Amino acid sequence: MEVGEKIDHYTITEILSGGMSDVYRVFDGKDRYVLKCLKEDATEEVKKLFRREIRILKKLRHPNIIEIVFDTYDSERPYYVMPNCGKSFVEIANSQISEVELLGYVIQFCKAIFYAHEKGVYHRDIKPQNVLLYKGIVKVSDFGLSRFVSRDTTTITRTNLKAGTQGYMPPEYNNGAFKAGNVEGDVYMIGKTLYYMFSHGRDVSNVRSETVPVQLYSIIDKCTKDEPSQRYSSVGTIVDELESYRDLLLTAENAPKSIKEIKKSYSANTPQYNKEVYKTLITLGNNPNDWGYALGQLRTSELIQILTYNKDTIIALSLYFIDCLSNPSDYIQFSDIDEYAKFTKALVDVNTDESIKQNLITFMIDMSISYCRYPAMKVVANILNEQIEKDYTRYKVFVMLHSHQLNSICMNLGGDSIFNNQIKALLKA
């Protein structure tokens, strides 16, 4: 068959490589598919294998196993049509994706094989080329060498039929065990496939521990033991261990980073930078030194950008900040108070909730006076100057309620007092 010719109403658009079958990419006038057709000169045994593959695929209904769209099972030269998948695991292994994303793909793949085993089917030819991606979803394919556990006879596959793929097939298949096939045989090939994926395409005949993450090597090593009884007895256990490792990575990935790490990893004022800094701030806890150190690495302009980006949750952060430093787990350093004052001003500038603003200002008035920290007092004065100019009526009341403390700030600062004339007038009243 050539490009442009038809198989029934399917037009061939591309000739793909095949083993015991002819494989084509086809178009039916609406969608593109892949059509797998029995070779014209196929033997009776190969015909049986091909029809068995159709029966197996029609039995296995799982989101991660390739599905048959149409088939001509009973015809003299049967074929079946399946979705037109894009990449295989070969391309994925050599692409630039994160370890977590890669784990997501291999977990889908292992779940498919586990399901097949539960349905009484052994694949017997597991390798990266037979694991495809369709719209981001893993699809295990090519069940041409698969067998039903309970219904197949061992005579359907000749001893001299090619037994799987070299490098992936377990050692016992070289000694005639391929015809029977079992869980442990598929597990071995899963291990080799996992190694290929996480070593980013290295030679699977030479599995080296240093080329994959330690936690994954322990799984791969158990899968690929020469003695079948030493391998996993269920693919379900492999799935569980892969999912546990992914959860561990996600926990580490979502853990707050230090400001120094964030600055090293992300450009300032990008969404990821703003998210990561906010996540760190909201988890600093009651240690005042941690707050001082973190805030000391952020300029006022950066704080404004971060808070503006996360303004929907700024009330929660404001209350958390006040609560943590009102109940410190350690001594507060004088120099850190200046950082708290800087942060308080940024919170007030971005906040739209007046009660939260006034809580923040009250908190900083109390702290600056308690620790007699002049720079912090000056920041309080600046905050109040700005707020009373924006809303004189509201902040006239606030100044009057806190007149004793604000007069104390005036006395401490003396000639350096920078309260504006409106506040000075109210304090003299």
* pLDDT tens-digit series, residues 60-75: 999 999 999 999 999 9
| Residues of the chain scoring pLDDT < 70 | 146-164, 176-180, 415-417
| Model pLDDT, residue 179 | 65
| Model pLDDT, residue 414 | 78
Rounded CA-CA distance 181/124 in Å is 7
| Model pLDDT, residue 329 | 93
CA 41 to chain centroid: 48
* pTM for this model (two decimals): 0.67
CB 125 within 8 A of CB 145: yes
| Model pLDDT, residue 358 | 96
